[in-house]
Structure 1
Amino acid sequence: MTDADPVTLSAEFLLAVRRGEPTAGPAADLADLGDRELAAALDTDPARLAFWTNVYNAATQRALAADPSRYDNRRQFFTADLVAVAGRPLSLDDIEHAVLRRSYHKLALGYLRVPGPLRSAFADRHAPDERDPRVHFALNCGAESCPPVAAYTREAVDEQLDLATRGYLEEHVDYDPAADAALVPRVMLWFRGDFGGKRGIYDFLRRYDRIPRGATPSLSYREWDWSFDPGAYAERERAPH
């Protein structure tokens, strides 16, 4: 068991994947973390968001670099164990939906949470206190429509997630004031409840200057491009602090 900061370990793991360096060491350090010790070290939502986002992206990119054919069956890819954390084998679905999204079902538009007796105790222990919809603009599953991958830190994750979200929305939201209509990312439909429903989506779009204050345009949703596009890293590495 290591005494290193888990968020730093997660960023080192991701950066090793990005640079094509050996990942066995960082991966082993994550696997060797103590479960309860990890929960105590990730003592704030910023720490949890940074850690689990880094682990998700590192696991995805490592798996696809090692065997691109895994992407051919995405359902299997998302549910297969790709990384171990604190002795627990985890899939991408485990990290995204059970931990980061607090066990809200991935097929229920963000409105239906898995009942307590059916939830993973591990996921409940490590989940953020609140869902943060900005993670949808930070997690990269290898698809063309996914956002760029960056290494997040506990100190700067709020600013980093704002930057990632703003950049993604600037590219993927089209607002037509004449038609009073907006074309928005598909994740806002798939996970509508994460954003607080339709009213929450409007607030979110205003927050990032994609629609004017007071505007309530009709919403349509971009098709998601599942074309294989691994290694989509942000232009500058965000080194661990």
Structure 2
Amino acid sequence: MDGATGDTTDTPSAVARQLLERVRREQPTESREHALAALDEASLADLRTDRRSALAFWLNVYNATAQLLLERRPALYESRWRFFRTTAATVAGIDVSLDDIEHGIMRDKQSKYGLGYLPRLARCRFGPAYRLDVDPRIHFALNCGAASCPAILSYDAETVDQTLDGATEQYLAQHVQYDEVLDRVRVPRVCLWFVGDFGGPSGVRAFLRDYGRIPRGASPSLSFDGYDWTRVPRRFDTSE
């Protein structure tokens, strides 16, 4: 049991949450990583059929394993090309990178390049049945260790949408600046990198209206902040 609190449930959702919690508490993670690798295809049925279960699972796996990768192989971060493409986790016997999880699965096999308008050419061994429709809120939930990344939360299938809304609202409140006089709004860089995920510039504005960052009738010009890639210590949301 790694010497940590015993875990008795090995469903995919439970394993992912337990792994993230052990990372948060800086407890040994080997048994949860082995449990993740030992899952079989039958046990992953919910990830193929239930959006909320899949969303919560992959968010937790990404955030947990990104932190473990940073801890165990810190030099990889000096080359982000390598960092995002190296194996970060083994799920049901399948090795996946952070790019596989984010772009191959959670963004419905969309390229990380091309502003969210181009398909991803790289192969992911989790096929079409596992792909999720693009949800731009994930860009305010995934943490790769950079200073501009959002704080890490734990996600549960039953409440994943509410938790994602809270994470998005918190990040936008910290990083969006609206200038009514200049009719301009400064937004996070991810809104440019993945503008297609939002439905284009007009979709970004609609997204900001939905989260109360610009007035309902406003249609300001967009400017995009830079992204601070400075590596920072683990940033878990302490309000949970």
TM-score (ref. length: structure 2): 0.92
The higher relative CO (CA closer than 8 Å, separation ≥ 6) is in 1
Aligned-pair distance for 1:66? Answer: 2.4
Count of aligned pairs: 233
Cα distance between partner residues in 1 of 2:69 and 2:85: 13
Write out aligned runs for 1:98-109 (5 A): 98-109=104-115
Check conservation: 2:183, 2:220, Cα contact below 8 A: yes
> Kindly tell me: are residues 40 and 120 of structure 1, through their superposed partners in 2, closer, same or farther at Cα, counting changes over 3 Å?
same
Distance across 1 between alignment mates of 2:100 and 2:204: 25
Question: 2:192 & 2:146 partners in 1: Cα distance?
Answer: 17
What's the counterpart of residue 227 of structure 1? 230
Counterparts of 1:66 and 1:57, CA distance in 2:
15
CA distance, structure 1, for counterparts of residue 174 and residue 116 of structure 2: 24
* 1:29 Cα offset (Å): 0.8
Please, which of 125, 131, 142 is the counterpart of residue 129 of structure 2?
Answer: 125
Q: In the alignment, which residue of structure 1 is the partner of 2:195?
A: 192
Q: Of residues 52, 55, 65 in structure 2, which corresponds to 1:46?
A: 52
Deviation at 1:229, TM superposition (A): 1.0
Distance 1:42 1:12, change over 3 A: farther
CA distance in 2, matches of 1:95, 1:3: 23
Name the CA distance, whole Å, in 2 between partners of 1:54 and 1:230.
Answer: 18
Does 1:73 find its partner at 2:79?
Answer: yes
The alpha-carbon distance between structure 1 residues 120 and 227, as it changes in their structure 2 partners (threshold 3 A), is: closer
Q: Supply the distance in 2 between the matched residues of 1:40 and 1:144 (Cα, whole angstroms).
A: 33
Of 208, 214, 220, the residue aligned with 1:211 is: 214
User: How big is the shift at 1:36?
Assistant: 4.2
Shift of 1:41: 5.2
**Contact between 1:9 and 1:26, CA under 8 Å: does it hold in 2?**
yes
Percent identity for Structure 1 against Structure 2: 46
Aligned CA distance change for structure 1 residues 177 and 41 (closer, same or farther; 3 Å): closer
8 Å Cα contact 1:176/1:182 also seen in 2:
yes
The root-mean-square deviation of aligned C-alpha atoms, in Å, is 1.7
Structure 1 unmatched runs, 5+? none
One-letter amino acid of the counterpart of residue 129, structure 2: R
Assess, with a 3 A threshold, how the Cα gap between structure 1 residues 3 and 232 changes in structure 2: closer, same or farther. Answer: closer
User: What amino acid is the match of 2:34?
Assistant: A
